[in-house]
Amino acid sequence: MNDLSNKVKETLVERGASLVSFADLGELPEDVRHSLRFAVSMAVALDPLVIAAIHDGPNKEYHAEYRQANALLWELAKFAAGMIEDSGYRAIPKRPTHAGIDQSTQSTMLPHKTVATRAGLGWIGKSALLITEEYGPAIRLTTVLTDAELDAAQPIVESRCGECRLCVESCPGRAPSGKNWNSHLARHEFYDAFACAKAARERATAKIGIDDTICGICISVCPFTAKYVKSATKARSKE
């Protein structure tokens, strides 16, 4: 790993990032990546105790955790961009929120999870969320675009969900079709983002009185999340 890549990764982890990796976006259209070829992809894991309590939908603790993780990621993204710029390169931090979503497509030009798959952090699950080995989908993501030649990881191009259908069967909006993702598959071919947004907003309004597209059921039922929650809970009990 080159010096800048190592410095960025170590510093972001010290400041609270759970996962950090780098992506080569050269195969993507220049306009979606602002003509910058490389990216920093980073994740912050959500509190396992909070995640364990949302099997039936969001609560106020989850909403607060969600917002807190977004705030931390935005600070990390700005800090990383500053580090890269101080080394003489261009860098653009991207917000880890719903900003920039085209409501007609329920998508952004460059989703953070697309960058994350190219940075080798995980794959896209049947829930259309990024699934990581370490935390399942119990994470929030953000991206920093740059022209600094960072040490790009090997992209993940196929799902590792196999025959699991827990998120499919648990989704209140019936958004996942059950089809496994691969990097050549468009989201609408395996997932209905409009059904998800409608059900999530209805659930958030009914359960916590918040007009937001926040649900979390597919996160809580994922076996990779369950593994994370179990491991983290066990570790805390020993403290």
Per-residue pLDDT of 54-100, as tens digits, reads 999 999 999 999 999 999 999 999 999 999 999 999 999 999 976 56
Is residue 228 a part of any domain in this protein? yes
Please state the pTM of the whole predicted model.
Answer: 0.93
Closest among 166, 163, 188, 176 to 107, alpha carbons compared:
188
What average pLDDT does the structure give for the chain?
94
Q: Is residue 168 part of a domain?
A: yes
For the chain, the domain total comes to 1
Domain around 165? 3-234
In a domain, 167, yes or no: yes
Q: Is residue 180 pLDDT above 70, yes or no?
A: yes
- pLDDT above 90 as % of the chain: 88
Segment 97-106 mean pLDDT = 67
The pLDDT score that the predictor gives to residue 98 is 61
Q: Is residue 42 part of a domain?
A: yes
In-domain check, residue 239: no
How far apart (Å, rounded) are the C-alpha atoms in residues 187 and 88?
Answer: 37
Q: CA-to-CA distance for 219 and 110, rounded, in angstroms?
A: 22
